[in-house]
Amino acid sequence: MKNICFVATIPDVVHSFLKGYIRAAAEKWSVKIIANFSGAELLGDLSAQFIPLVIKRKISPWHDLLALIQLTILFRRERFDLVHSIMPKTGLLAMLAGWLAGVPIRMHTFTGQVWANRRGWKRVALKMFDKLTVMFATHILVDSPSQRDFLLSEGVLKVGKGIVLGHGSICGVSAERFHPNVKISRTIRAELNITPGQTVILFLGRLSHDKGILDLAAAFADIASRRNDVVLVLVGAEEDVSFTRVQEICVDYRDHLRRVSFTPYPENYMAAADIFCLPSYREGFGQVIIEAGASGVPTVASRIYGITDAVEDGKTGLLFSMGNIAALTENLLTLIQDQALRKKMGQAARLRTLELFSSEKITGELIELYEKVMA
């Protein structure tokens, strides 16, 4: 039996994006998961062995060298036929360790570039890390066509390289999990003290500068000054932006804010939303956008690579120029004021998502790829 391994920095990433792949792979092969121990309880329902290993998210030369040595030893001991990594630094460590250990199939998935909106030496260094990942991998997956085009234009990938599963996305979306649900919507709104007549704008993701959370806070403060029937719900862990900072920006309208630090059930908050917003400065695809789409919710998002594959501008949502707070505000107001347009775009988003981005289709294509490369 073939022996394969998934490598990620944290179990939460495996839980959010790789569970479908792991379940499908475990029906055919022996599967192991390597990630940090914290959050391992999220993986308890998978038919795969969990191997804890400390991999720091941020650059830490000593810890990174130690992780590289441990990965190399693990790979040699387990004799994996295929190693598949996700997340930037994990990819570099896993692909290099796989090369050193002689793993025949070394696969990495790019889900966006941390250097895309950087300048100077940081951009050069981080970009070089991605080039090294490509060098040591035998196969590179990219979660959107426009991200692949970006990597080609930047010289990270060569022409003909970079595999996109289906029409894009890291894992597709489950129509059984994400769908319109009036009952759940009422429950979540009641829990958050949101009345039936209020319009809910949802942000679901890390609270960070790269996700455009400060732009969203500024836009919402403007919107709340004009309308008192709008609520902004922020779901996700704090990274480099605190919820307190968001409250400071929306100081006169902070009672219109709702905060959920973490949820293993994003589908519940999608069901409760009227508009999804992702004003990001960098995305590989924007998985949360198609999750919103499957839930019948239109999206307002920045016009950047990755997101342009997830949103059909003017049909399933509205795009604006990255960093343009005035345009973000106007797009949100357009959907707040026009309920019929919201409904029309939400329905179109659901149809497009189910047609192009179903998890069954994406998972099937990855399993076929595994079978092909290991044959």
284 Cβ neighbours under 8 A, 6+ residues apart: 110, 111, 112, 113, 142, 143, 144, 147, 170, 306
Side-by-side strand order, sheet with 105-110 = 49-52, 30-35, 3-7, 82-86, 105-110, 139-142
User: Quick check: do 3-172+359-374 and 182-356 share a fold?
Assistant: yes
Distance CA 209, CA 239 (A): 9
Beta-strand runs (E) in 144-298? 199-204, 230-235, 257-260, 275-278
Q: φ, ψ for residue 173 (rounded to 5)?
A: -135, 140
Domain spans of the chain? 3-172+359-374, 182-356
Cα–Cα distances (Å) from 122 to 101, 115, 128, in that order, read 30, 7, 10
Span 101-112, pLDDT tens digits: 999 999 999 999
- The domain made up of 3-172+359-374 has a fold known as Rossmann fold (3.40.50)
Q: Extract the tokens encoding 21.
A: 């792949």
Fold of 182-356: Rossmann fold (3.40.50)
Q: What's CA 129's distance to the chain center, in Å?
A: 20
312-369 residue pLDDT tens: 999 999 999 999 999 999 999 999 999 999 999 999 999 999 999 999 999 999 999 9
Query: Length of the chain in residues, anyone?
Result: 375
Q: What is the DSSP letter of 240?
A: S
Per-residue confidence (pLDDT) for residue 277, from 0 to 100:
98
Among left, alpha and beta (phi > 0; psi -120 to 50; other), residue 19 is alpha
CA R_g for the chain: 21
List phi, psi (to 5°) of 299. Answer: -120, 140
| DSSP-based three-state secondary structure for 37 | coil
Segments of the chain with pLDDT less than 70: none
pLDDT at 117: 87
Strand positions, DSSP E, the chain: 3-7, 30-35, 49-52, 82-86, 105-110, 139-142, 199-204, 230-235, 257-260, 275-278, 299-302, 317-320
249 to 31, 218, 231, 254: CA distances (angstroms):
47, 6, 15, 9
| Contact (Cβ atoms closer than 8 angstroms) between residue 291 and residue 267 | yes
